[in-house]
Amino acid sequence: MTALPDESGLTLLQRGWRYQQERFPLLVHGPLIAVMAFGAFGYAISVAELQPDLYRYLSCWAGLLAFFFLLRVADEFKDYQTDCAHRPYRAVPRGLVSLRALGIAAAVALGLQILLIPVVGLYLLVPLILTWVWLGLMTREFFVGTWLEARPVLYLFSHMLIMPLLMFYALTHFGPVPLAQVWLLLPLALGVGLCLELGRKIRRPQDEEAGVETYSALWGPRRAALAWFAAVLFTLVWLFWALRPVAPAVLTVGVVAVAGLLALALLVVHARQPESRAAKGFEGLSALLILLSYGALGVTPWL
């Protein structure tokens, strides 16, 4: 077992910086969330014919960043006992930061979201409260944790339903957008969330850890990869229908085709050699899917 680093001399600021590097890297999450906000921004302008507003876009990005940080903190609380038993090298079990400190940081994130309401309007309260409530239920495993854990597919969907709520929250930053005009982005957001969640929990057999639940350990590497590919296809279908009325055909077909072919190539390589490094590509390609999908939606007003 690898010796844990001696971090007793670190200041509070150094601990916070190291925590974000390990558990919530801003250089990764920041740009991905910016692209998600950009997709909502561009689509709202294209479909609802709203005026571009940089302040609302920045508010959307900051609010989404706060939500994804809250998701990370919720996981830290939820997984604390498991991490102590099986992953003592992680930031909280090894004592880099405490759950109390993360709780304070989460309160700051909540405060930021409240401060953003005047920038947008009181109507932002509706998706904000809905998403808070769902996040709270997720943290408590919907009060049926044991029952849900025995049903991994239902567990996956119950937790990923927060993604359409986050997209609803993002869209609302650009005005009281009628859902009848932008609802296509809600199942698209669900698909993106499924791709990310499945992709980050597919590992090579030699990389599996005792006590750590992954879909590759649960279903086997090939079946887990097929589940991920099904999520990619689901996402691309909704992306096609979302882009079709607002983007040139060459962009719509091009983005869907490139993403689909890359996913198919990864699936084939992994199916032939589950022990290869291809397993590490599922999470990366899921992130690329975010860039392609939301990036294409975001540029539509200017095409």
Identify whether residues 59 and 207 lie together within a single domain. Answer: no
Residues 143 and 105 in one domain: yes
Shared-domain flag, residues 114 and 163: yes
Answer yes or no: is 244 within a domain: yes
Q: How many CB atoms lie within 10 A of CB 167?
A: 27
Residues of the chain where predicted confidence (pLDDT) is lower than 50: none
Return d(Cα 12, Cα 258) in angstroms, integer: 45
CA dist 239 and 188 (Å) reads: 6
Q: What is the separation, in whole angstroms, between the first and last Cα of the chain?
A: 55
The domain tally of the chain equals: 2
Q: What's the one-letter identity of residue 171?
A: L
If asked whether residues 188 and 172 sit together in one domain, one would say no
According to DSSP, residue 122 is labeled: G
> Residue 257's pLDDT is what?
97
Q: CA-to-CA distance for 46 and 227, rounded, in angstroms?
A: 33
The reply to whether 1 falls in a domain is no
Tell me, yes or no, whether 169 and 207 share the same domain: no
Give the tokens for residue 71.
């998701």
Q: How does pLDDT run across 104-152, given as a tens digit for each residue?
A: 999 999 999 999 999 899 999 999 999 999 999 999 999 998 999 999 9
Distances in whole angstroms, Cα of residue 18 to Cα of each of 7, 90, 105: 10, 11, 14
Two structure tokens written together for 165: 């709520």
- CA distance readout (Å), 137 to 44, 69, 99, 100, 302: 29, 16, 19, 20, 40
Structural domain boundaries enclosing 136: 11-177
Q: Are residues 47 and 153 in the same domain?
A: yes
**Rounded-to-integer distance, Cα 225 and Cα 278, Å:** 11
The pair of three-digit structure tokens given for residue 253, joined into one six-digit string: 């077909």
* 63 within 8 A of 174, measured Cβ to Cβ: no
- The confidence score (pLDDT) of residue 2 equals 61
Q: What is the pLDDT of residue 175?
A: 82
Separation between Cα atoms, residue 164 and residue 189, nearest integer Å: 5
Whole-number pLDDT of residue 291: 96
End-of-domain residue from the set 177, 206, 240: 177
Q: What is the pLDDT of residues 189-227, one digit of tens each?
A: 999 999 999 999 999 998 888 878 899 999 999 999 999
* pTM to 2 decimal places: 0.94
Asked if residues 73 and 20 have their Cβ atoms less than 8 Å apart, the reply is no
Q: Are residues 24 and 141 in the same domain?
A: yes
194 and 235 Cβ atoms separated by less than 8 Å: yes
- The CATH number covering residue 239 comes to 1.20.120
Q: Cα(220)–Cα(261) distance, rounded to whole angstroms?
A: 23
Residues 6 or more apart whose Cβ sits within 8 Å of residue 282:
198, 199, 200, 202, 225, 228, 266, 270
How far apart are the C-alpha atoms of 48 and 56, rounded to whole Å?
15
